[in-house]
Structure 1
Amino acid sequence: MKTFNDFASYNEYIGLAKPLDNDIDVGYYDPPNMLLKSEAVAVDFYRISIKVGYRDKFVSNAKPVNAVFFNSPEMSVGWDVDPNYTGMYLQLSKKTIEENRYLFKTYLDYGQHEALYLTDEEVQEISAVFQLMMKYYESKKQNFNVLLSYVNVLVSLVEAFYKRQFSTDPKQYSRIVTDFQQSLIDYYKQPVKQLPNVQYFADKLGLTANYLGDIVKHFTQKSALENIHDFVIKKAKELLVENQKLNTTEVAYELGFEYPNYFSKFFKKQVNLTPKEYRLQAIHKN
């Protein structure tokens, strides 16, 4: 599989304009003059693509959509598309992301299959921001900070639109939360050797960790990691009270803690009692 390490080589391959900058590239799609079908390729940078009236022939019976797509390093994507869509793209080097991480949200790592679908009004808003971005992009480095500010505006709009998407189709996304919670229950139905983490459940559900985390946070008002911690504490309480033959070290190992001391500190931070204190208090109440 071919990997493109810079904007120039990728743009030449796909039929886009030559980039004016090596760290940020902004432009409009021109499908009649672009490569409309390709095997899977990867890029070693980040891409945000806004496509209007876009239909991918890889998806059977697909209807044209208005959507934002994301590509991140090491993610591969192929395509076979109709030539009658319009749109815009923003390409960001890893250096730009690293130096301005506070500007960019987790959905840069969502992946191609977690697109953001846009309403007509949202397309107009994003198009207006792109016009301003192009103005300052074409003036090159003279207005680099202004360009970055508009990139931040674009990313903030995307964040707002994702929240709208999560809210307008709650059945689809709440099912992901339910599957996450069930996977957490299932995790402790078998002997465990380590604590569960967000990446484990994302892999289990076929999602990126950031995407899963944002959906869980949207519907539970807690991060995926906080949900995991809450469940671990719940299991710890059950083991301490219902299985008193286990000492706290054994409880720690049952939960997947590598070091019992870490379990005690973790439990104390969450409950304001040590495991021993909690057990004694629970026994006294009973």
Structure 2
Amino acid sequence: MRIFKDFKAFNEYIGLPNPLDNDIDIGYYDPPNMLLKSEPIMVDFYRVSFKTNFVDKTTPNAKPVNAVFFNSPEMIGGWDIEPTYKGMYVQLSKKIIDENRFLFKNYLDYGLHEPLFLTDNEIVEITTLFELMIKYYNKERQNFVVLLSYVNVLISLVEAFYKRQFSTDPKEYNRIVTDFQQSVKDYYNRPVSQLPNVQYFADKLGLTPNYLGDIVKHFTNKSALENIHDFVIKRAKELLVDDKKLNTTEVAYELGFEYPNYFSKFFKKQVNLTPKEYRLQTIGKN
């Protein structure tokens, strides 16, 4: 499998012009002169692609779509596409993301899981913004700060459009939330040795953590980690009240805490009572 570490090598492979900069590359697709089919490859940078009338031949009976696609470092992907699409791309190095993380959002890490399907009005907005980006990109680094600002606006637009998409088909996204919540319950239906994290459940569901987290946040108004913590507290309360043979240290281990003191601090922060205080207060009321 080929791995592309920089824009220049990747652009030569698929038939795009040489980049003007090593950290940001912007341009238009030219499908008739590009590689339309490829074995799986990996790129070591971020890519955001905007494509209209795009047909993926690997999908049976695929219909043309207008969408935004993401590729992140270490993501493996191949393609087989029709040469009928038009589009634009932005490529960003890991360095520029790390140095300007405050400008960028989780969507760069959505990966292959969730294209953003665009409405006609959204296409017009993105095209207009992209033309401005190309203008400043062609001036190379003379207006680099302005160019980065436009990239930030572009990512902010994507954020707004994703919220619209999440709300358009709530049944599909609610299924993901339900599967996530059920996975948390299933995790505690067996002996555990550590606290679970968002990455664990994202892997179980075949999603990226950022994608899972944004859907969960959109529909529950809490982050995925907050949802996990809520369940841990619920389970802790059940153990403290229903299984009086367990002391608080044993409850901590049952929940996957490595250090009982951390469990006590965690519980106190969430409930405003220590585990012992909660147990005594609840049992006393009953």
1:113 to partner: Cα distance: 2.6
Q: Which residue of 2 aligns with 1:23?
A: 23
Matching residue of 1:195: 195
Partner of 2:116: 116
Deviation at 1:196, TM superposition (A): 1.1
Q: Which residue of 1 aligns with 2:75?
A: 75
SS of residue paired to 2:113 = coil
Q: Distance in 2 between matches of 1:85 and 1:268?
A: 56
Aligned residues: CA RMSD = 0.5
Name 1:94's counterpart in structure 2. Answer: 94
SS of equivalent to 2:19: coil
The gaps in structure 2 that reach 5 residues or longer are none
Q: Which residue of 1 aligns with 2:147?
A: 147
How far 1:188 moved relative to its partner? 0.7
**Stretches of structure 1 lacking an aligned partner (at least 5 in a row):** none
2:158 is matched with which residue?
158
Could you say what secondary structure the match of 1:40 adopts?
Answer: strand
Deviation readout 1:9-31 (Å, 9 max, x if unpaired): 10010001111111000000000
Q: Counterpart of 2:78 in 1: which secondary structure?
A: strand
Residue aligned with 2:171, SS: helix
> Deviations 1:147-190 (Å, cap 9, x if unpaired)?
00000010000000000000000000010000001111111110
TM-score by length of 2: 0.99
Question: Secondary structure at the residue paired with 1:112?
Answer: helix
One-letter code of the match for 1:51? K
- Taking structure 1 as the reference length, what is the TM-score of the superposition? 0.99
After TM superposition, give the deviation of residue 63 of structure 1 in Å: 0.6
Q: CA deviation at 1:208?
A: 0.3
The answer to whether the aligner puts 1:212 opposite 2:248 as a matched pair is no
Instruction: Tell me the number of residue pairs that the alignment of Structure 1 and Structure 2 aligns.
Output: 286
CA deviation map 1:69-119 (0-9, x unaligned): 000110011000000100000000011000000011011111123111111
For 1:176-255, what aligned pairs fall within 5 Å after superposition?
A: 176-255=176-255
**Equivalence for 1:172:** 172
Residue identity matched to 2:25: D
The code of the aligned residue for 1:284 comes to: G
244-253 vs 105-114, greater mean Cα deviation:
105-114
Render the CA deviation track for 1:54-76: whole Å, top value 9, x for unaligned.
Answer: 01111111111001000011001
